[in-house]
Structure 1
Amino acid sequence: MAAMKRPLYVSGAGAVTPAGLNAPQTMAAIRAGLSAFEEIMLAEPLGQTQIAAPIPTRAKLRRTEGRWLVNMASRAIREALWTGSGASEGTAILLTPPESLRKHPAYDDIAPQDFLATVIKATGLRFHAASRAIDGGAAASIGLLERALEVMEQQGVEQVLLGGVDSLVNDADLARLGQAGRLKAENNAQGLVPGEAAAFVRLTRLPEGKSPILVAIHGVGLAQEQDNVLSERYSQGDALLEALRNAVNGSGPSEPDIDFVISNSNGERYSGWEELIVRPRFYRTRREILPTAYPAMTIGDIGAAGGALALMLAADSLLNDYAPGPTAVCELASENGLRAAAVMTRMTRR
């Protein structure tokens, strides 16, 4: 996968995260460097605490893990849809739920094959038949950008809501991550902080409105890392390097043009090691610094929702002129080893 045949435009967004109940609140919190971390009580071992980033909410919305994810996703989808005037019937949803390998407790309530239909039902709206749910986590969400362009060109879709929903703040994931020594704790500074979120970006083939400033996605790269975080070896960064090279392998921006990075790196030793190896192999142009935004510093590791959140943050920084420059790359890693990159630019309408 490489540079796309034509750009896709980020025309809107919706989100529910620990830092905000909509996209503007979330972006403002990340920009301000706020933290949504707090201590939660674990079910096992009883009485022990863990640093996490849960979304503040009423208990009745969390009666089951499946219903909680559906509530988050439907809310973010409606927000993203209402940033434009397009009808839901002409809109396709491309959704990444929690990776199947994790056996997320949400699937105790809702079968994976029924997840998207349940989310759509919760919105109270009808969406285009091209809507799909795809396994693979945050990086898979970025990989769906080519699919988004395809359904708009070939299946009569007017716009696409691309995003994900996930929560690592549940007993099963907390136990799994704890047993593997992957959680941030007093005796493990290089661990992840479990978070939860739903995030969607609204994609269009053509620019909308009359704003002179646009944000376009030009290139996408996708590759599979064999030495993923669940294996016994550290990644040497080969898949992320391949994804980055593929994303700039076209007529759009190239490596020297990149001004900053949005990464879903979560603070784990494994993640930091991979990043450390990849950076000098890909970013060969001399830079004083390479500014990098890590949303996990504010909202924790949000799993499958991280892909759309990275696109959203890049677009917001470019549109609102607080980005270090006009060209960004989003670097995404999924727990199953999938790696993805997307190149985005700030454009001025002629």
Structure 2
Amino acid sequence: MSGLPDLHVNAAGLCCSLGYHLDAAVCALRANMDHFRESAFYSQGGDPVQVASLPEKVYGAQRLQRWVEHAVQDCLSTIADPAALFDERRSAVVILVADAQRPSSEGDDPAEAVRAALERLAARYGVDAPAPAAYVIRHGRAGLVAGLRQARAALDAGKAQVLLVGVDSLLNAADINFYLQEERLFVPGNTDGFVPGEAAAALVLGATPAPTGGIRIAGLGSANERGTLDGSVPNRSEGLTAAIREACAEAQVAPGHLQFRLSDQNGEHFYTRDATNAITRVMAGTRQPAFLTLADKLGDIGAATGPAMLAWLSRDLHHPQRRPGHAGLLHLANDAGLRNAVVVHAPKE
């Protein structure tokens, strides 16, 4: 133990291109399935852009609100007192959304879609109480550690539980056009790119595990990488290396004892090299951990990536035959240089 308050994932939900609910998505992930398909967006060469999306005809903020409702309802269906999640005296809310540099950030605020979804769900459960305080983290893919630290602070201040929600969609004209111009999408003629996606993921976090047992978040680390995507400053993976070492030190676990790593890398070579270099440096002289990814099944889901990782692990780490190990590492990065690392442990048997 690090001496810092424990964090346990006591309930989880996920709405993504593989399904409206976590159980459906997990089944598809275990089968290594994806739901990539042609979209109404076109590359400069006239080819349809592949995306990872659900077949809904609702767009904008209402679309995100619907994803959040599905993900949070997933959580509510497995906790003993769902109404308590909407009571400010007992709960807090942390919202992870896209970073402010994203072209689409000038449009509808995803955080408002989360608030609207929670209001609808509270009414459905007959809750007539002030809504919990909501903290918004705008770091895109690398918002997870800041969100977990905020959750830890809320629990330390006396809250019984924290609802952490990550929601994002890259399926809009502003983002698609920007990444096409930057040659960062996976389209014919460019293999150094990613498939844009959309998702909402929700976690109920507590200081103690649920009776059914929840995965334990043992260590958190974050740092900044000076290297840039355009290569104007060489990337030496110093940021991710520092973040991993901080997370391992907080968890009081040697990097060589980690049995798996779950990466947010999305197919762009820059992030693949960044992660590989950091892992090689940190794990020098030890056995390399099993390597897991989500983006090859879900596409790049931005700010929902970290919560989606933990949601997936909340299912598979419970099963001795399915889990990749007892202790593992999650690592994430964003375009601004922020790097995250999280050490997790499987529930005690």
> TM-score normalised to the size of structure 2?
0.89
Task: Show the counterpart of 2:216.
Answer: 216
Counterpart among 68, 71, 74 of residue 66 in structure 2: 71
Counterpart among 137, 143, 165 of residue 134 in structure 1: 137
Contact map agreement 1:12 1:202 (CA 8 A) in 2: yes
Aligned ranges for residues 174-213 of structure 1 at < 5 Å? 174-209=176-211, 211=212
C-alpha change, 1:285 and 1:199, in structure 2 (3 Å) is: farther
C-alpha change, 1:268 and 1:281, in structure 2 (3 Å) is: same
1:8 maps to amino acid = L
Percent identical pairs in the alignment equals: 26
Task: Show the counterpart of 1:341.
Answer: 341
Task: Show the counterpart of 2:126.
Answer: none
1:184 maps to amino acid = F
Cα distance in structure 2, aligned partners of 1:315 and 1:113: 24
2:80 maps to amino acid = S
Contact map agreement 1:13 1:202 (CA 8 A) in 2: yes
Cα distance in structure 2, aligned partners of 1:103 and 1:242: 29
Cα distance in structure 1, aligned partners of 2:22 and 2:216: 19
Counterpart among 145, 148, 156 of residue 148 in structure 2: 145
Cα distance in structure 1, aligned partners of 2:109 and 2:171: 20
Task: Show the counterpart of 2:262.
Answer: 262
Task: Show the counterpart of 2:242.
Answer: 242
State the SS of the aligned residue for 2:195.
coil
Aligned ranges for residues 32-181 of structure 1 at < 5 Å? 32-42=31-41, 48-57=47-56, 59=57, 61-62=58-59, 65-86=60-81, 87-88=84-85, 89=87, 90-104=90-104, 107-108=106-107, 110-111=108-109, 114=112, 116-125=114-123, 128-154=131-157, 156-181=158-183
C-alpha change, 1:269 and 1:278, in structure 2 (3 Å) is: same
Cα distance in structure 2, aligned partners of 1:227 and 1:123: 43
Task: Show the counterpart of 1:309.
Answer: 308
Contact map agreement 2:42 2:49 (CA 8 A) in 1: no
Task: Show the counterpart of 2:28.
Answer: 29
Following superposition, the deviation at residue 172 of structure 1 comes to 1.0
Contact map agreement 1:207 1:214 (CA 8 A) in 2: yes
Deviates more, 1:239-248 or 1:184-193: 184-193
List alignment gaps of at least 5 residues for structure 1: none
Following superposition, the deviation at residue 271 of structure 1 comes to 1.0
Contact map agreement 1:4 1:146 (CA 8 A) in 2: no
1:121 maps to amino acid = E
State the SS of the aligned residue for 2:104.
coil
State the SS of the aligned residue for 1:42.
strand
List alignment gaps of at least 5 residues for structure 2: 124-128
Deviates more, 1:183-192 or 1:134-143: 134-143
Task: Show the counterpart of 2:280.
Answer: 280
Provide Cα deviations, 1:165-208, integer angstroms capped at 9, x if missing partner: 00111111110000000001221112100010001111111121
1:149 maps to amino acid = R
Cα distance in structure 2, aligned partners of 1:13 and 1:4: 25
State the SS of the aligned residue for 1:52.
strand
C-alpha change, 1:249 and 1:284, in structure 2 (3 Å) is: same
Cα distance in structure 2, aligned partners of 1:133 and 1:104: 17
Following superposition, the deviation at residue 341 of structure 1 comes to 0.7
Following superposition, the deviation at residue 270 of structure 1 comes to 1.0
Deviates more, 1:296-305 or 1:320-329: 320-329
Cα distance in structure 2, aligned partners of 1:171 and 1:337: 25
Following superposition, the deviation at residue 115 of structure 1 comes to 5.1
Aligned-pair Cα RMSD in Å = 2.3
